[in-house]
C-alpha cells in the first residue's frame, strides 16, 4: 500500500503530536512532524513528501525559506496552511488540496 507522507511543521510539540495523530488516523497517510525548520529540512530529505503542512506559528519569512528548499523536490510537494479546527477540518483541507492537484 502506498502511503502519502505528510510533513507537519508546528512550533508546539504537544499540538504537533495531536496533528500527527489526526493525520495518521487515515491508513493511506503517514504523518511526520517537525517543530523546527532544521528538523523539517532533515526529515524532508530523508523521504519523499507529498504534502507540507504549515501549522499556526510559522512566520511568513521562515515559510518562504522552507518552501524554497522543498521546491527542489521533483515533483514539488503540495503546500498547505493549517490553523487548527479539529480532525474533520484537517482531513477536508488535505483532501481538497489533493483534489486540486488531481490526486
Read off the pLDDT of residues 62-78 as tens digits, 9 standing for 90 and up.
999 999 999 988 889 99
- pTM: predicted TM-score of the whole model, two decimal places: 0.91
The full set of domains in the chain, from first to last, is 4-100 (3.40.50.2300)
Read off the pLDDT of residues 42-61 as tens digits, 9 standing for 90 and up.
999 999 999 999 988 889 99
Residue 101 has pLDDT above 90, yes or no: no
Residue 9 has pLDDT above 50, yes or no: yes
Q: Which of 14-18, 31-35, 53-57 has the lowest mean pLDDT?
A: 53-57
pLDDT at 1: 47
Let me know the angle formed at the C-alpha of 80 by 75 and 82, rounded to the nearest 5 degrees. 160
Task: Mention every residue, 6+ apart, whose C-beta is less than 8 A from residue 86.
Answer: none
Helix (H, G, I), strand (E, B), or coil: what is residue 48? Answer: coil
**What sign does the dihedral 35-37-39-43 (CA atoms) show?**
positive
pLDDT at 103: 64
Read off the pLDDT of residues 74-96 as tens digits, 9 standing for 90 and up.
889 999 998 777 667 899 999 99
* Helix, strand, coil percent values for the chain (each to nearest 5): 45, 20, 35
Region 12-17 average pLDDT = 94
Question: Strand ranges (DSSP E) for the chain?
Answer: 4-9, 29-34, 51-55, 78-82
Amino acid at each position: 500500500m502506498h502511503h502519502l507522507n505528510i510533513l507537519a511543521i508546528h512550533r508546539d510539540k504537544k499540538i504537533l503530536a495531536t496533528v500527527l495523530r489526526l493525520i495518521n488516523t487515515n491508513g493511506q497517510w503517514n504523518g511526520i512532524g517537525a517543530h523546527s525548520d532544521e528538523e523539517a529540512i532533515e526529515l524532508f530529505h530523508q523521504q519523499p513528501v507529498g504534502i507540507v503542512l504549515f501549522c499556526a506559528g510559522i512566520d511568513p519569512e521562515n515559510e518562504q525559506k522552507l518552501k524554497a528548499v522543498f521546491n527542489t523536490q521533483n515533483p514539488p510537494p503540495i503546500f498547505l496552511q493549517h490553523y487548527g479546527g479539529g480532525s474533520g477540518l484537517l482531513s477536508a483541507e488535505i483532501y481538497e488540496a489533493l483534489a486540486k492537484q488531481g490526486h
